[in-house]
Amino acid sequence: MAPSPGAAAIEVANLVKRYDQFTALDGISLRIEPGEFFGLLGPNGAGKTTLISIIAGLVRANSGRALVMGHDVERDFRAARAALGVVPQELVFDPFFTVREILRLQSGYYGLRNNDPWIDEVLQGLGLSDKANTNMRALSGGMKRRVLIAQALVHRPPVIILDEPTAGVDVELRQTLWQFIRSLNQQGHTIVLTTHYLEEAQALCGRLALLRGGRVIALEATSSLLQRFAGGRLQLRLEGSLPPALEALRVSPASGAESITLRVDDYAEVESMLAAIRVWGSRILEIELMQPDLEDVFLRLVAQEVKP
């Protein structure tokens, strides 16, 4: 069934999920547009996996709605699941088949025949071509994770959810994976990423949602989220000591470090900070003003529970 005109890639409205006395999701609403590279971030226990499980049809919400390409995940679950590919955190695999056999079986679940040309493309894109006829039991953990990604892509879903896809894997896999996923996004696939590697989210995601305690506490473009925190970091190497008046701004260890890093909440403060150092009698040997990154924003938002 084709998606309705103007349908979001993923839309959730007032989702609530409770487990006895624990509320995993507390009225979450968000909309992800087709073709977005979207980041879903939050500390452990924020509700990310529960939200993904509801969207994937693995868990039922107590109330609210979730749709994939306009298809309700409960009432129109076949179309919703066909439009979605999910890469889970856990390494779950069948030990009795080769990589190619696994992907052919997965194709069969979606009624796809003669899918080998696309399987070959996925295998090549994920660096698995030389493992196509290898039994799953003989693969390393990183290779098994690549197969999980291939399984999620085998039916060419328009929407792809990657739940911690690079957790515990090597640099080579990360680079191979992101190159391939970027190409899929450029072809029009919607990508939803959850990750604790915030530098990945900053580099890849055009828009972000930050969850805490089952609620959305920030939902906006990555660039505007970074701009909302105008300050950054001032890194210095001094001949002499730091003035006591600036010690409260220090974010690096108090002693034993070659350089000193100071928090800058407003760039207009930098001139007065440098002047205070000179008046104190210390000499500035090196200076670098660093822009805020997503880790800074994440920590400040989680600490402050900023509302969108």
Q: Angle 141-153/171-186 helices, nearest 10 degrees? A: 10
Give the model's pLDDT for residue 5: 62
Per residue of the chain (308 residues), give pLDDT as tens.
Answer: 455 667 899 999 999 999 998 999 999 999 999 999 999 998 888 999 999 999 999 999 999 999 999 999 999 999 999 999 998 877 777 788 999 999 999 999 888 988 999 999 999 988 899 999 999 989 888 888 889 999 999 999 999 999 988 776 778 778 888 888 999 999 999 999 998 888 889 899 999 999 999 999 999 998 888 877 656 788 899 999 999 999 988 875 555 557 898 888 777 889 999 999 999 999 999 999 887 778 777 877 777 654 44
pLDDT value of residue 4: 60
- Output b/e per residue, 263-274; b: 16+ Cβ within 10 A: bbeeeeebeebe
Give the span between the Cα atoms of 229 and 210, in whole angstroms: 15
Instruction: At 261, list the tokens.
Output: 């890093």
Paired tokens of 130? 């030389």
* Whole-angstrom Cα Rg for the chain: 23
Burial (0-12, 13-18, 19+ Cβ within 10 Å), 303:
exposed
Q: Which run of H or of E encompasses 15?
A: strand 10-19
**Cα angle for residues 192, 183, 3 (degrees, 5° grid):** 55
| Interval 123-172: pLDDT, tens | 998 889 999 999 998 988 888 888 999 999 999 999 999 998 877 677 87
Give the pLDDT confidence of 172-211 residue by residue, as tens digits: 778 888 888 999 999 999 999 998 888 889 899 999 999 9
H or E stretch covering 118 = helix 116-125
Looking at residue 40, its pLDDT comes to 94
Q: Which two tokens stand for residue 34?
A: 């087709």
Helices (H), 14-98: 48-55, 77-82
Task: Tell me which residue of 22, 51, 17 sits closest to 210, measured CA to CA.
Answer: 51
- pLDDT for the residue 45: 87
- Residues contacting 244, CB < 8 A, separation 6+: none
Q: What is the pLDDT of residue 95?
A: 82
Give the pLDDT score at 1. 47
Under a CB-based contact definition with an 8 Å cutoff, are residues 73 and 227 in contact?
no
